[in-house]
Amino acid sequence: MEIALGLEASGKQFIWVVKKRKRNEQEKEEWLPEGFEKITEGVCGGVAMATWPVSYEQIYTEKLVTDVLKIGVSLGAQTCDGIVGGTINSEAIEKAVNRIMEGIEAEEMRSRAKAFAKKVRQSVKEGGSSYSDLNSLIEELSRKSLKH
């Protein structure tokens, strides 16, 4: 309820989509930190984000978004004893939404986010660093498999 109240209080337009849980969602491999896939999607999409870590490994992805890449704001859900999660009040939601949606700070975050998205797109297209690195890996694995 607090999320809805905070979004409404921000005065910004939004669409709330509730995702239907898939049956096999529990069988999902978890070799990446919780939430890392969503952060990657956000970076690739060039959007600013509000973070709310609800498990310990999410603290690292939050720090990546807020302190390293500087493309998001924290909802401040951590307590001084390091426990994450907990509840967030509507005021924190409203403040975070406004920080990423309006003002100079928001423009700077969105500009950085779009720049990262552009770098990602360039790296995965032919001739880009990720494209080249993946091809090098495939070639190396192919050479090793031919030796055996």
Domain boundaries along the sequence of the chain: 2-18+31-147
- Rounded Cα distance, 34 and 74, in Å: 16
Report field, pTM of the whole predicted structure over 0.75: no
Q: Is 79 exposed, middle or buried (0-12, 13-18, 19+ CB in 10 A)?
A: exposed
In which residue are the tokens 């091809």 written? 135
Report yes or no: 84 and 54 within 8 Å, Cβ to Cβ: yes
What's the pLDDT tens digit per position in 13-35? 988 888 777 666 555 556 666 67
- pLDDT, mean of residues 115-140: 91
pLDDT at 80: 45
User: In terms of Cα–Cα distance, which of 80, 123, 89 is closest to 6?
Assistant: 89
- Rounded Cα distance, 105 and 107, in Å: 5
Q: List Cβ neighbours of 43 (8 Å cut-off, separation of 6 or more).
A: 69, 71, 113, 116, 117, 120
Report yes or no: 61 and 33 within 8 Å, Cβ to Cβ: yes
pLDDT band at 75 (very low <50, low <70, confident <90, very high): confident
CATH topology of domain 2-18+31-147: Rossmann fold (3.40.50)
Higher pLDDT, 74 or 24: 74
Higher pLDDT, 114 or 27: 114
- pLDDT, mean of residues 67-86: 73
Report yes or no: 60 and 53 within 8 Å, Cβ to Cβ: no
CA angle 88, 91, 96 (to 5 degrees): 85
pLDDT at 84: 53
